[in-house]
Amino acid sequence: MQLLDGKKTSEDIKQEIAAEVQKMKANGEKVPHLAAVLVGNNGASLTYVGSKVRSCEQIGFESTLVSLPETITESELLAKIADLNEDDNLDGFIVQLPLPKHINEEKILMAIHPDKDVDGFHPTNFGKMALEMETFLPATPFGIMQLLERYQVETAGKHTVVIGRSHIVGRPMSILMSRKGYPGDSTVTLTHSRTKNIEEFTKNADIIITALGVPNYLKADMVKEGVVVIDVGITRVEDASHPKGYVITGDVDFDEVSKKSSFITPVPGGVGPMTIAMLLKNTLLARQIRARK
């Protein structure tokens, strides 16, 4: 069994991007500039955005944090997004989710110009991904593809089972794994909460990518020997014996499933760190595309 170490791989990718930024600076080119829009002061969102800003500083990007009050109206937020779309100094920006309940998240994400949508959520970019065109891939699936590639996990002709059909992970993952090229060329089964007898699929899977959000859902008796397991689940589970009072748990019963796996991601330290690294990679791509125009 080999661990797919997202922490180490994400640091490698950041160093590669930092080297690219140094070259841009040496050539007198503009360095990538990423903005993050934060509405309100949700604790988890503050942490996520803070780590994104720190990562930008670490690799030499410019970064801007746009902090807006919880009470902002939907029309005011749409006006702010229109300003960011027009700002020539910005290469890409993200709107940190979740948004306050009085704001329609879909309407906000649709308002981001596809050329600046470095989260890869806009339908234009989703469509380009499905058609195998150059675009921004959703950050978490992009990170998973990088892990598979950098650990040289064989995917061609393999049976990949994806558990979960969210627009952020499950559905794009099923598309990416079935696309031509490497990593890809897989035969994909997309399963979800309504799938009956899910074990019949998981037991035959060469690769399992689970993004269900149910702690320890995937058990050892649901997988075959030599399986590759990618665990996207991140759930806080109360644990009185732990100093923080909780532990972060994935979808996979790691202790048991890892005994049968050829490759497996840990939680934490697997897919999670890759997401921010891919956001940075998308921002670098946005700058390169803008420079070509």
Distance in angstroms (rounded) separating the CA atoms of residues 126 and 121: 7
Q: Is the pLDDT of residue 113 over 90?
A: yes
pLDDT at residue 40 greater than cutoff 90:
yes
How sure is the predictor about 200, in pLDDT bands with cuts at 50, 70 and 90? very high
Give the type of residue at 235: T
| Per-residue pLDDT at 239 | 87
Is 234 part of any known ligand binding site?
Answer: yes
Question: pLDDT at position 202, please?
Answer: 98
Q: Which segment of 137-151, 172-186, 240-254, 260-274 scores lowest on mean pLDDT? A: 240-254
Q: Is the pLDDT of residue 42 over 90?
A: no
Over residues 253-267, the mean pLDDT reads 98
Under a CB-based contact definition with an 8 Å cutoff, are residues 239 and 112 in contact?
A: no
Mean pLDDT, the chain, whole residue set: 96
**Known active-site residue 15:** no
Q: In what order do the strands lie in the sheet with 33-39?
A: 62-68, 33-39, 92-95
Q: What is the mean pLDDT of residues 276-293?
A: 95
Please tell me which residue in 119, 231, 251, 253 is annotated as part of the active site: 119
Q: For position 266, what pLDDT does the model report?
A: 97
158-189 residue pLDDT tens: 999 999 999 999 999 999 999 999 999 999 99
218 pLDDT more than 90: yes
Two tokens, residue 105: 């998240």
Total residues found in the chain within this entry: 293
Q: With bands split at pLDDT 50, 70 and 90, how would you rate the model's confidence at 44?
A: confident
Q: What is the pLDDT of residues 55-91, one digit of tens each?
A: 999 999 999 999 999 999 999 999 999 999 999 999 9
Average pLDDT, integer, range 241-248: 88
User: Could you confirm whether 231 is annotated as catalytic?
Assistant: no
The residue from 52, 80, 116, 281 that is catalytic is 52
What is the reported pLDDT for 236? Answer: 86
Among 118, 139, 179, 186, smallest CA distance to 158 is for: 186
The model's pLDDT over 94-104, given as tens digits with 9 standing for 90+, comes to: 999 999 999 99
164 labeled binding residue: yes
Please tell me the distance from the alpha carbon of residue 293 to that of residue 284, in angstroms, as a whole number.
Answer: 15
| 71 φψ region: left (φ > 0), alpha (ψ -120 to 50), beta (else) | alpha
User: What pTM did the predictor assign?
Assistant: 0.94
Q: Which pLDDT belongs to residue 43?
A: 81
What integer pLDDT is reported at residue 185 of this predicted model?
98
The alpha carbons of the chain give a radius of gyration, in whole angstroms, of 19
Out of 96, 117, 253, 281, pick the active-site residue: 96
Please check whether residue 287 is in contact with residue 31, taking contact to mean a CB–CB distance below 8 angstroms. Answer: yes
> What phi and psi values does residue 266 have, to the nearest 5 degrees?
-80, 160
pLDDT at 116 (0 to 100): 98
Cα gap 202→62, rounded to integer Å: 44
Is residue 52 among the annotated active site residues?
A: yes
166 is annotated as contributing to ligand binding? yes
More confidently predicted of 41 and 160: 160
User: Do the annotations mark residue 43 as ligand-binding?
Assistant: no
